[in-house]
Structure 1
Amino acid sequence: MSQGSDCTEISELGTLDSVIGIARGDIDIVSPPKASTASSGKGGISLTNGVHELLDCPICSNSMYPPIHQCPNGHTICSSCKLRVHNRCPTCRHELGNIRCLALEKVAESLELPCRYQKLGCHDIFPYYSKLKHEQQCMFRPYSCPYAGSECSVTGDIPALVTHLRDDHKVDMHNGCTFNHRYVKPNPQEVENATWMLTVFNCFGQQFCLHFEAFQLGMAPVYMAFLRFMGDDNEAKNFGYSLEVGANGRKLCWQGIPRSIRDSHKKVRDSHDGLIIQRNMALFFSGGDRQELKLRVTGRIWKEQR
């Protein structure tokens, strides 16, 4: 097989070592990697360092999935990055064309790999092409910081995020399953500029985030309060919560299930899954000359009986 020809079916290329050499663009067949390539017991091949490196895109460093492209010299690239480099090989600058590296795709198909969150507690093994889908929903994957209103990229487990919220975002921390949250804004007419607040409650050995913010719901300015659970959705369903706001003989109530922080703050807000207060009603609750917003939101968290 010539150096510039397309990768074909793996059965036509001989050993795995031949595939590795061709996919790298080497003319000589490379030596077997020092790490052993043991059978997984399910017909797959366990991961070796050499194969893992071949399946990493040289541009984005992510694992490559079909279609895996290559230039005539054998350098591979993922389909997303092929568009980004304007169809030029990032290694040799040769035009990429539409050559598929079928051999490397076949190698990937035979692999069974550990979850990327293995060090966080996931010990399952997956076929290469199923691994990515699992990792998107793995219960051991780290959580994103639930602090809204800023582009915080911090991730981690729940204890680490609680510490991060307290130390870095200066979020209020409270113990107990009842709360009394006071929200004051001097100029309620500037609803789009109203700042939201976040409080973390430690209750039943779990953590919950209380959000309160102002935004435009269509053309109407509204305020909204809702609770998020610091954990997965299946755990959040074990709890319920209620919110109340009112004054002058009127009261609005909400009862629901806290949403997991796996759902982004914006997703929960845009689903309107919480206590929504129109601005006119909020100003009525505030009393006085309606020039200042003064709302007191009270609530309770409980554990559902199963």
Structure 2
Amino acid sequence: MDMIDSIECVTSSDGMEDEDAVSSNLPRPYLKTSASTTTAAEAASVGVVPGGGGVGIPGPLISPATSVHELLECPVCTNSMYPPIHQCQNGHTLCSTCKARVHNRCPTCRQELGDIRCLALEKVAESLELPCKYYSLGCPEIFPYYSKLKHESQCNFRPYNCPYAGSECSIVGDIPFLVSHLRDDHKVDMHSGCTFNHRYVKSNPREVENATWMLTVFHCFGKYFCLHFEAFQLGMAPVYMAFLRFMGDENEARNYSYSLEVGANGRKMIWEGTPRSIRDSHRKVRDSHDGLIIQRNMALFFSGGDRKELKLRVTGRIWKEQQNPDSGACIPNLFT
């Protein structure tokens, strides 16, 4: 059951900037060569373009020779194989991931695989340098296989999960792609400006069995922020909660602060905090209670009238913290 029957939003309007999603195909691996030792004939025989620079410096981005590519192709998943590479007694190979899938039987000749390693192919695989798997998101790094795995675990170009939690969306991507996805696929309201004034209305506020919620995206300081408002059960008590998430990493989220305010009849509740990164899941933020929490009885009191209809007005603003060069302390930048 939807919690929000109607919404009014009043924000500053300085134009919404459309950003195109970054998309490109991953390049083929490099084959490490030395320009001083590789002749044109030798390069042609293995599909390497000579002239790539000095020793240890890869040449132009190229496709490996078809024969090398085929040698490293797993017959089960068709992905490129990297150490450990397994083989049967007849010499048929497959990757370590697929070894368990085929119940230790060669998919080509059905012989038992055992624990035989194909060391020759492993050396070939180790000679390749591969782009980071987040190349399409803008990461320019290229590594040998083992270094690549370590790099990718910490790469700043890791894709983000879609912050639209209502349908448990599994889409991932970079920020421009997710902004377009939220706007086009989830029909999320998009607003420009660093202040907001939302009015949430619900005709039957006593129905909070489901974690019903609303998401709005704001664009300010050249960044995107997600304002969440929802109802859920906190223990036995139904509550409403509003909180902000930053579309970016946690270290950058700390550069911003926000405030939320709700009230009526001479009463007021105010929350100030730092937006959480969308690296933290929607549920994690909600369950940490890191936001403005309003008990239902207080929410109905703010609504006035006969207390049978929820009418909450939530106002707020986002500001960027500026580093004080003298003291090292952060001071609010209220005028940017």
Aligned match of 2:184 in 167, 170, 175? Answer: 167
1:97/1:176 CA distance change after superposition, 3 Å: same
CA distance in 1, matches of 2:294, 2:137: 41
Amino acid at match of 2:200: Y
CA distance in 2, matches of 1:151, 1:64: 33
Does 2:313 align with 1:296?
A: yes
TM superposition score normalised by structure 2: 0.69
State the shift of 1:35 in Å.
2.8
1:200 aligned residue:
217
What 5-or-longer segments of structure 2 have no aligned partner? 1-43, 324-336
State the shift of 1:244 in Å.
1.8
Contact 1:214 1:223 in 2 (8 A): yes
Cα-Cα RMSD: 3.4
1:48 aligned residue:
64
Contact 2:83 2:125 in 1 (8 A): no
CA distance in 1, matches of 2:47, 2:144: 23
2:24 aligned residue:
none
1:225 aligned residue:
242
SS of the equivalent of 2:46 reads: coil
CA distance in 1, matches of 2:286, 2:108: 45
Does 2:195 align with 1:178?
A: yes
State the shift of 1:240 in Å.
1.0
1:244 aligned residue:
261
Number of corresponding residues? 277
**Amino-acid identity (%):** 79
SS of the equivalent of 1:193 reads: coil
Aligned match of 1:95 in 112, 117, 137? Answer: 112
1:220/1:203 CA distance change after superposition, 3 Å: same
- Deviations for 1:179-209, whole angstroms, at most 9, x for unmatched residues? 1122222333331325211111111222111
Contact 2:212 2:232 in 1 (8 A): no
Contact 1:228 1:259 in 2 (8 A): yes
The residue correspondences of 1:1-306 to structure 2 (distance < 5 A) are 33-35=46-48, 41-42=55-56, 48=64, 51=68, 54-55=71-72, 57-60=74-77, 64=81, 66-306=83-323
CA distance in 1, matches of 2:202, 2:211: 7
User: Structure 1 stretch 40-49 or stretch 74-83: which is displaced more?
Assistant: 40-49
1:288/1:130 CA distance change after superposition, 3 Å: farther
CA distance in 2, matches of 1:156, 1:209: 16
User: Structure 1 stretch 60-69 or stretch 189-198: which is displaced more?
Assistant: 60-69
1:155/1:194 CA distance change after superposition, 3 Å: closer
Amino acid at match of 2:130: L
What 5-or-longer segments of structure 1 have no aligned partner? 1-30
SS of the equivalent of 1:152 reads: coil
Contact 2:214 2:229 in 1 (8 A): yes
Is the helix fraction higher in 1 or 2?
1
1:292/1:113 CA distance change after superposition, 3 Å: same
SS of the equivalent of 1:202 reads: strand
Contact 2:82 2:126 in 1 (8 A): no
CA distance in 1, matches of 2:54, 2:162: 37
